[in-house]
Each structure stands twice: as C-alpha cells, then as structure tokens.
Amino acid sequence: MTTNEPTIEFLNSRKVLSSTLPFSEAVRVGDLVFLSGQLGVAPGTLRLVDGGIREEARQTLENIRSALAAHGYSMSNVVKCTVMLADMAEWATFNEVYRTFFDGRFPARSAFGTSGLALGARCEVECIAAGPKSAPDF
C-alpha cells in the first residue's frame, strides 16, 4: 500500500547559523519550504550587525536570501513573510529595506510588534517559499 504523503526534509545549510541550535533552518514539505525566523546576525555568528533597524533588516533579508539559495530557492519563490518588529515606529524604515529584496511581486505578509526578540534584535522575519527547487547555491 502506498501513500501520497509528501516527503519531509529538515534542512540546515550552516550558511547563516550553526546546526547546533535547537531548530532547523528550514523544513521542506513537497514544494513548500518553511524557513525559520531569521535575525540580522553576521553569518556564522550570533552577533547582530551594527547600525540599528536599517542594517539589521538588510542583514535579516540577506540571511533569508542565503538560506533559500542554499536549498535551491530564491526570493522570487517567497510567497509569505511574517515580520516581527521590536518597535512598530520602525515600520517605515523596515519597509524601505524590505522592498529592495523583491522585484515588485511582493509576498503576502503579516507583521506585528513584539517585546523581546532573541539577542535583543530589532526585527525577525520568517518566510514560506513555494515551487520546485533548482540546484542549490554552494
């Protein structure tokens, strides 16, 4: 008897964060990839980049781009983002940076203010990407 259940893959590229953390960088279920929340940390460290919300947002989105590429996806595959901001007053600045990472076809998005992001971050973004993967970017 065969089932039509999709294959579930737990993915860790080590391009952004160590695989010793207690979560997967991403989980692929069929043609969907669920990317864990990303912060504006310098790749390979748990150190937030300097420069406040603008630089943290840029690095957060660069980390998302790197993680997706490592698994054969790109920003054009992103269909949904959830944005968490430590201060909603920084929403406009975050949006200035965010829009530069997409070609005008913006993913569906939710956003909320929160208190207490990991490492004292100003923003965290998690994404869902869809579509068949291409060759990973190694």
- Express each pLDDT in 90-104 by its tens digit: 999 999 999 999 998
Residue 89 confidence (pLDDT): 97
Is residue 90 in some structural domain?
yes
Range of the domain at 68: 10-130
Give the pLDDT of residue 14: 77
The CATH code of the domain that includes 15 is 3.30.1330.40
Task: Give me the number of domains the chain comprises.
Answer: 1
Provide DSSP, 99-129. GGGSSS-PPEEEEEE-S--GGG-SEEEEEEE
Q: Which two tokens stand for residue 129?
A: 């990407």
Can you give the pTM of this predicted structure?
Answer: 0.89
49 domain-assigned: yes
Q: Determine the pLDDT at residue 138.
A: 47
- Supply the pLDDT for residue 38: 95
127 vs 119: CA distance, rounded Å: 20
In a domain, 1, yes or no: no
The answer to whether residue 136 is domain-embedded is no
In 3D space, the residue among 53, 59, 124 whose CA is nearest the CA of residue 90 turns out to be 53
Q: Please determine, for residue 137, whether its predicted confidence score (pLDDT) is greater than 90.
A: no
Q: What is the pLDDT of residues 10-40, one digit of tens each?
A: 888 777 776 677 888 899 999 999 999 999 9
